[in-house]
Amino acid sequence: MSAIDLCKVFNDDKLLIKTIELDKCDAITNHIPIVNEGYIFERSLLDDVLLFLAHPFCDCLYMQGPAGCGKTSLIMQVAGRLEWGVEMITLSNKSECLDLIGHQTLRQGELVFEYGPLANAMLYGEILILNEIDLVSPGDLAILNDVLEGKPLTIVGNSGEVIYPHNNFRVVATANTKGDGDSTGFYNGARLLNQAFLDRFRFLLVDYPQYNVEKLMLKKNFNTLDDDICSKLVKFARELRRVMNNSQKAGISQLSAPFSTRVLLKIGYLMSLDCDISVKKAINTCYSLRLPDVEREYVERLCNDIFGHQESNDELIALKDAIENTQDNLVVETVKKRGRKKTSI
């Protein structure tokens, strides 16, 4: 077992947890996530994640938050910096326990058992990330109850093999809801989860990053964007979220899709390209074209208020052509009128 200096790894002396002890692991496959140097950690969330990873106490971690706020990215970037392997699976209403545990498969004419992400994570001491866990039937999740408490996994389909959890084994679930169903209308298919299952978790509420964090994300990921554009993009995002939150509290729906950090970064990427693309077009492509007409009109008005009335080259060319056509038509009409006057004389 080796101790890792977390303050050094994350370049932050004010972390709640200073060190973490991890056992050596002889994993055959390398599932360590790639580190994104442009990723920005929020200390409060980082503290909660590191506290769980260092001192799980037979618990698992349930991360709940809106779409695209960075739940999975946070775990992946922490694991990447700690060189901790990750097994990840995105669940759905079609997922079954065999998808996690494993199943018999035919390989080179021989029937062999292929381990699933749960079995691999337990064997090799990896972090198991269960994305969209609130989409799965509660009955299919009940098979995890004992495992989540640190007990061994018995694989009936592999001659009753028993897998004992590695000391580094951790389970993190992500979801858009708290397991109590969806009240926003954004996350169709979210289920009511069993309370006995949820009792195995610590809960961490994740929201969209603070203003300065999202701005720094834009600047570090797309260094060609100037400071003013980054500020306006974040202001635009926060205003849309404010309207959405206020409308939900009032029991009405003014925006039918959340404006996530993922969307913000997509817009930033398009704006950073070496081509003439307007902010309006980037926002339409990445977000507002998925909205109903009334909502899209509101987003466009807000875009004009924050960024000003900007037009792309194509729009300017179209406007110039329209003006020239109008001028040509006026000339033709003037000539015709003069011709009619001469004829009448």
Q: Which residue, 174, 205, 236, sits at the end of a domain? A: 205
Place of tokens 């062999």: 112
Q: 3-state SS string over 32-99?
A: CCCCCCCCCCCHHHHHHHHHHHHCCCCCEEEEECCCCCCHHHHHHHHHHHHCCCEEEEECCCCCCHHH
Residue 169 has pLDDT above 80, yes or no: yes
Q: 178 falls in which pLDDT band (50, 70, 90)? A: very high
Residue 332 domain flag: no
State whether 200 and 94 are in the same domain.
yes
Split at pLDDT 50, 70, 90, the class of 313 is very low
Within a domain: 344: no
Indicate whether 103 and 18 sit together in one domain: yes
Q: Is residue 333 a part of any domain in this protein?
A: no
Residues 6+ apart with CB under 8 A from 342: none
Mean pLDDT, rounded, for 21-34 = 77
Residue 312: predicted pLDDT:
47
Give pLDDT, residue 315.
53
200 has a pLDDT exceeding 90? yes
Residue 261 belongs to what domain range? Answer: 211-307
Tell me whether residue 339 is in a domain: no
Strand order in the sheet with 170-175: 86-90, 127-131, 170-175, 60-64, 201-205
Do residues 186 and 262 both lie within one domain?
A: no
Do both 16 and 60 map to the same domain?
yes
Evaluate if residue 151 carries a pLDDT over 90.
yes
Closest of 246, 217, 219, 240 to residue 291, by C-alpha: 240
Q: Considering its fold, how many domains does the chain have in total?
A: 2
What CATH number does residue 82 fall under? 3.40.50.300
Listed residues 138, 173, 205: the one ending a domain: 205
In a domain, 340, yes or no: no
288 against 333, higher pLDDT = 288
User: Are residue 34 and residue 50 in the same domain, yes or no?
Assistant: yes
pLDDT for residue 267: 97
- Residues 153, 270, single domain; the answer is no
336 is a domain residue: no
Residue 201 sits in the same domain as residue 228? no
Residue-wise pLDDT for 56-96, tens only, equals 998 999 999 999 999 999 999 999 999 999 999 999 988 88
| pLDDT of residue 310 exceeding 80 | no
Question: pLDDT tens, 220-255?
Answer: 999 999 999 999 999 999 999 998 888 766 666 678
Task: Establish if 269 belongs to a structural domain.
Answer: yes
Exposed / middle / buried, residue 129 (Cβ in 10 Å: 0-12, 13-18, 19+): buried
Identify the pLDDT of residue 336: 60
Instruction: Report if residue 325 sits inside a domain.
Output: no
Q: What pLDDT score was predicted for residue 246?
A: 83
Window from 21-30, 126-135, 235-244 with minimum mean pLDDT = 21-30
Query: Final residue of a domain: which of 205, 239, 268?
Result: 205
55 and 108 part of one domain: yes
Nearest to 72 by CA among 96, 45, 92: 45
Mean pLDDT, rounded, for 310-331: 55
Asked if residue 154 and residue 139 are part of one domain, the reply reads yes
- The angle at the Cα of 130, spanning 129 to 133, to the nearest 5 degrees, equals 155
Q: Do 48 and 79 fall within a single domain?
A: yes
Which pLDDT band, with edges at 50, 70 and 90, does 183 fall under? confident
Q: In this structure, are 34 and 100 located in the same domain?
A: yes
54 and 197 inside one domain: yes
Q: H helices of the chain, where?
A: 6-9, 43-54, 71-82, 97-101, 117-124, 138-141, 145-148, 195-198, 211-221, 227-249, 261-272, 279-286, 293-307, 313-344
